[in-house]
A and B are shown apart, each in its own frame.
Chain A
Amino acid sequence: MENKKLTEQESLALIAEMIRQSKRNMEVGRGNLFLLYGYFTPALSVTLYLLISCTGHAAWSWGWLAMFAVWPLCAAFNRRNPPEVVTYTDKCIKNVWHIMGALFFVSFLCLSAFAFWLPTDMTIMLPLSLLYAAIGVSITGIVLEERCITLLPLTGVCLALYMLTGLFSGAGPLLEWYLWFGVSFIAMMAVPGHILNRKPAKSC
């Protein structure tokens, strides 16, 4: 492209072409973070389930803190490999996940603090995490206008409500919940991740 003067029609055509071109390129790789959490969480849940059931030490449940470790790793990776372009949608989704991440962190800090003067069961972090992640994925689906991604997190919401009911009725917590937690992350994050990454390939 050079720096020549344009006619009015050429100007409008150029504007339309540039807008089309940028839309074509904006969605590649958007599902990668979903895939990371969608597979890391089930792997972690199976690992912790096996460790606790084999050793009998409930202290392994602190291994869930590894979920927080993924966030700074991703942030460091993004700093080293910044995207060539950031769309308004990307910014909106990023902000949604900042809020969800903050909710995870604040919930963990509050529950840890409450444990000093109240009998606190940290297992409640499982349903809370499911709810936060489900809300985050659903909002992402709404922003991207992807019905499947909006609705899939309902699996996580149902499981979270089941766990909360179990906790309040005294029927839980159960170690099997770890496995259910992992499975729901596959439905809630791994599947949407694949949908998001397949979409640009189809549309290009």
Chain B
Amino acid sequence: MLKELDPLLHSQLRLAVVSLLMTVEEADFVYLRKQTGATAGNLSVQIDKLAGAGYIEVRKEFVGKKTRTAYRMTARGREAFEAYVSALQAYIAPNR
């Protein structure tokens, strides 16, 4: 029987954010916005959902007078992503 795809990851913007964060140690909000091409508001909402589920870790710091927010994957987020990719592969090639 095919596993259910994680609904938190099975959405375009959240999956893009998680895929980007899987390939780097840490990335900030500006980088994620540039790479995904999403609006700041939408990105912020989706990141909050991922952070709320414990998939990503949020770190805020001051750079001069501005706030910089950096994100990184948590161990839980990595496991969820790996499980999601395995489930996807099972959907695409169920006999493998």
A165 to B56, CA, bound (A): 54
A6 to B13, CA, bound (A): 10
Interface of A is mostly: helix
User: CB distance B15 to A15 under 8 Å?
Assistant: yes
A10 to B91, CA, bound (A): 12
A74 to chain B: closest CB distance in Å? 16
| In the complex, chain B residues 4-37 whose Cβ is within 8 Å of any chain A Cβ | 5, 10-16, 19-20, 22-28, 30-31, 34-37
User: CB distance B27 to A86 under 8 Å?
Assistant: yes
Q: Which of A9, A21, A79, A91 contacts B20 (CB under 8 A)?
A: A21
A142 touches B (CB below 8 Å): no
Q: Which of A5, A22, A82 contacts B11 (CB under 8 A)?
A: A5
Given contacts A82-B28, A84-B30, A85-B31, contact A6 B10 (CB under 8 A): yes
A14 touches B (CB below 8 Å): yes
User: CB distance B24 to A88 under 8 Å?
Assistant: yes
Best-surrounded residue of A11, A21, A80, A90 (most CB of chain B within 10 A): A11
User: CB distance A6 to B15 under 8 Å?
Assistant: yes
A positions within 8 Å CB-CB of B: 1-6, 8-12, 14-15, 18-19, 21-23, 25-26, 79-82, 84-88, 90-91
B positions within 8 Å CB-CB of A: 5, 10-16, 19-20, 22-28, 30-31, 34-38, 42, 46, 63-64, 68, 70, 85, 88, 91-92
Sampled A-B contacts (27; CB under 8 Å): A1-B13, A1-B36, A2-B38, A2-B42, A3-B11, A3-B42, A5-B11, A5-B12, A6-B11, A6-B12, A8-B5, A8-B92, A11-B10, A11-B88, A14-B16, A15-B15, A18-B16, A18-B19, A18-B20, A22-B24, A80-B63, A84-B27, A84-B28, A85-B24, A86-B26, A86-B27, A88-B25
